[in-house]
Structure 1
Amino acid sequence: MRSGLGSIWIVLGLLCFFGQSAKLCAEGSVTTLPGTLEISTGEWPPFLGEGLPEQGVIARLIRDIFAEANINVQFTFLPWSRAMRDTVNGKYAATAVWMFAEDRAQNLLYSEPVLDEKFVFFYRKSQPFYWQQLTDLQGMVVGGVSGYSYGPVFDAAVKNHIIGLDIVGSVEQNFRRLALGRVDVVAEEISVGYHMLQQRMPDIANSITHHPQPLLINQSFLLFPKANPQSEALNLLFNTLLQEFRANGRYDSYFDTLTTAESGSVYQPLQP
């Protein structure tokens, strides 16, 4: 766990579960938590997807964590920007999953890291691609997805016109454009990219690969709106149970099926 969370065990002290509700006992006060949470999210297979078995690996993980406290989780799939906006405005109890950004921290509480991500550049095998620093991409067009951030260094390079970023609404659109030569490279999380290619776009999968140097090693978080008086208790509860999942090895088991071409394996979807 990162610094500052060792005190959670003292703050929580005791988790009390009754029927379909949960009570978190902390320093003499009791916060009653709901029996059902609505969480907003966007399409990001294999991690999150409305049509995936159990709605994806991360949806399954979050659902199982809260189930330990007898809290049911329902996911609503929306465009990413709307998922964020509606959660900040209090329509949803949380939104999953997002990388850290200072502006988001003004209105949202960040959980402990839920997912470790690795973003890389995908490119056409017929047009070899090599890079060491972002200035090597000067003059190229990078395909991105609306609502994504690819890290502060990349974002600054775009703002300073070092990199040309052309965004669309979905990962699939990006790879179609890459195959057609309309963008030079696509920036995408490696498991997400290979899931899309192998499971949904087999007609172009063999023509595309990735550069091994990471663009971004990143962590993503579950976010709770500060405007909701239950958010702090829910966040503490989630973090405590997530730590238990990590400590006993259960967390790692959720990602056993997520292999990519990088390891010489083909992505195997979760069984329903």
Structure 2
Amino acid sequence: MAALLRVLALLGLLLAFSTAQAEKLRLVADSWPPFADSGMPGGGLATVIVTTALQRAGFASEFEQVPWARAMLGVEEGRYDVLINAWFNESRTRIGQFSTSYLTNRIRLLKRKGDALRFNTLSDLYPYSIAIVRDYTYSPAFDADQQLQKVPVRSFSGAVRMLAAGRVGLTLDDEYVARYFLQRESRSVRDAVELIDKPLSENSLHILVSLKNPRHRQIVAGFDRAIAEMKADGSYERLLKHYGF
């Protein structure tokens, strides 16, 4: 009888584990093409990488796109399990566990063509008004510098149009985000601006798994392992190439 009870207990544990694995993780992100956007094939590059890695680790998932503030609050409260595209921030460790980096974002400045600006340090930017997207994080030094003339706007598209029209002196964004949106602007806007070679910052991209999920350590460990395997077998590189990276 004791042996039978042990077998039944083991089967119960296995069933519970299988049921937990079958439950879909609730993934969330705001619109940030080409990395995450519900209107793009697969939801964008970051969405595809994350869902593929999680699937390889044994976790089914479903994706929802919401504004950034709602996504962060949802992770904090446990309504979402995984924020798919988070830069590391110490304060965020209070609400979630970070994975290792799976992409790198290079933040680059854009200026009007013909402008003689040479960027080496932040002080080189002090004479210029700079269009920034509200609630966007660029780099700790840039964000904290009170001498920079920052002009908050709603989107990169609005910022780059202001730059092309001469209403601001600079704007900035991740280089792939900037190229993605510039392709969708008019020729007059595209021809009026250019990227500055030296990046303002490089930020590693991670998933952030809600501490409210009791399996957060298991999810992160599985994701990290799957990303390493994808890089080793070439599937990671194929995804980058498919999205033009």
Greater RCO (CA < 8 Å, at least 6 residues apart) = 2
| TM-score, normalization by structure 1 | 0.78
Counterpart among 65, 84, 87 of residue 99 in structure 1: 87
Q: State the alpha-carbon separation in 1 of the partners of residues 143 and 220 from structure 2.
A: 29
Q: State the alpha-carbon separation in 1 of the partners of residues 71 and 116 from structure 2.
A: 37
Q: Which moved more, 1:46-55 or 1:174-183?
A: 174-183
Question: 1:201: which partner in 2?
Answer: 185
How many aligned positions are there? Answer: 231
Root mean square deviation, CA, Å: 2.2
Counterpart among 136, 147, 153 of residue 148 in structure 1: 136
1:259 Cα deviation after fit: 4.8
Q: State the alpha-carbon separation in 2 of the partners of residues 197 and 129 from structure 1.
A: 21
Write out per-residue CA displacement over residues 62-94 of structure 1, whole angstroms, 9 at most, x where no aligned residue: 111122244332221111122111111111011
Letter in 1 for 2:79: K
Q: State the alpha-carbon separation in 1 of the partners of residues 76 and 22 from structure 2.
A: 18
Write out per-residue CA displacement over residues 42-79 of structure 1, whole angstroms, 9 at most, x where no aligned residue: 11111111211111111111111122244332221111
Write out per-residue CA displacement over residues 111-154 of structure 1, whole angstroms, 9 at most, x where no aligned residue: 11021111110112143432111001113221222232111111
What aligned pairs does 1:36-185 form with structure 2 within 5 A after superposition? 36-157=24-145, 161-185=146-170
Contiguous gaps of at least 5 residues in structure 1:
1-17, 24-30, 261-272
* Secondary structure class of the residue paired with 1:139: coil
Over 3 Å counting, the alpha-carbon distance change for 1:179 and 1:227 in structure 2 is same
Question: 1:247: which partner in 2?
Answer: 232
Q: State the alpha-carbon separation in 2 of the partners of residues 109 and 138 from structure 1.
A: 36
Contact 2:96–2:209, Cα closer than 8 Å, also in 1 = yes
Q: Given the alignment of the two structures, is residue 188 of structure 1 paired with residue 202 of structure 2, yes or no?
A: no
State percent identity of aligned pairs.
Answer: 25
Structure index of larger Rg: 2
Letter in 1 for 2:126: Q
Letter in 1 for 2:186: P
Letter in 2 for 1:251: Y
Letter in 1 for 2:241: D
Letter in 1 for 2:30: G
Which one has the bigger helix percentage? 2
Q: State the alpha-carbon separation in 1 of the partners of residues 76 and 236 from structure 2.
A: 28
Write out per-residue CA displacement over residues 149-177 of structure 1, whole angstroms, 9 at most, x where no aligned residue: 111111221xxx22122222322222222
